[in-house]
Amino acid sequence: MSLSTCAPCLFWQSSIGKKIVVALTGAFLVVFLAGHLVGNLLIFQSSESFNHYADFLHTMLHGWGIWLFRATMLVALALHIIATVQLTAANRIARPTRYQKDATMVASRSSRLMIWSGLTILVFFVFHILHYTVRVDGDLKQLADFHQNWAMTVAGFQSIPVVLFYILAMGLLCSHLSHGVGSIFQTLGLRTKKSANVINLFSKAYAVVLFFGFISIPVSICFFGLGEKEMNETIQKVEAAAKAGLTSLPDAGDKH
């Protein structure tokens, strides 16, 4: 079977096939975002439940779960990005001469800026990974090493520029989703004349809920001092424990 006749290759090479890849990976990412948000919102419940949740993620399937998930996520993200960049490049070529006077009837600004919102979100994604997963900041790393993910999260949102960048990125994510969620239905052939309005509304509502959900955390922390006191206490405990050569906090020892 040659490259030009294998069914997946044909699928990937065709405009519709590639768009279906974008829709399916997009759907995966959209669902992930909802899960991610629900987990994150535990921050408002208590440091215990949040840390408990973080530990669960790291230990499920004997620690394989998170890596399985990360691999899937990375593949989905890579396919989503490669496909959209290729499609956008083809779209540019499809209109070599622009209109001198350009006008738009119905397409929203969000729908026309998908590649730019998407690429900015990619930059944010890299930052976010470095920030909270790789933890290039030594202080945050130490907190995480002591399984203090709640305190680490709060500590990470103490800088106003960082928080502003998060808000900007979530704004773009909201824009991206407001068009993207509805597009999934259209590309997968699930949008009809009758369901169009409901889908559009759902798409926008989903985006808005995610936006406010996600920014509620950094905004509460940075501008309303959420958990500041507890965080400082935890930091002190962790530093003390580190000086004492411990690898975990004494009172957290019931689990580890």
Residues that bind another protein (CB under 8 A): 7, 10-11, 13-20, 87, 90-91, 93-107, 111-112, 114, 179, 182-183, 185-193, 196
Question: Smaller CB distance to another protein: residue 13 or 72?
Answer: 13
CB of 11 to another protein, least distance (A): 6
Question: Smaller CB distance to another protein: residue 22 or 143?
Answer: 22
The residue with tokens 């959900």 is: 213
Residue 200 CB-half CA count within 13 A:
10
CB of 47 to another protein, least distance (A): 43
The residue with tokens 């079977």 is: 1
Closest to 226 (Cα-Cα) out of 53, 43, 51: 43
CB of 106 to another protein, least distance (A): 4
Alpha carbon distance 83, 91 (integer Å): 12
Question: Smaller CB distance to another protein: residue 189 or 250?
Answer: 189
Secondary-structure percent of the chain, ordered helix, strand, coil, rounded to 5: 80, 0, 20
Question: Smaller CB distance to another protein: residue 156 or 182?
Answer: 182
CB of 89 to another protein, least distance (A): 10
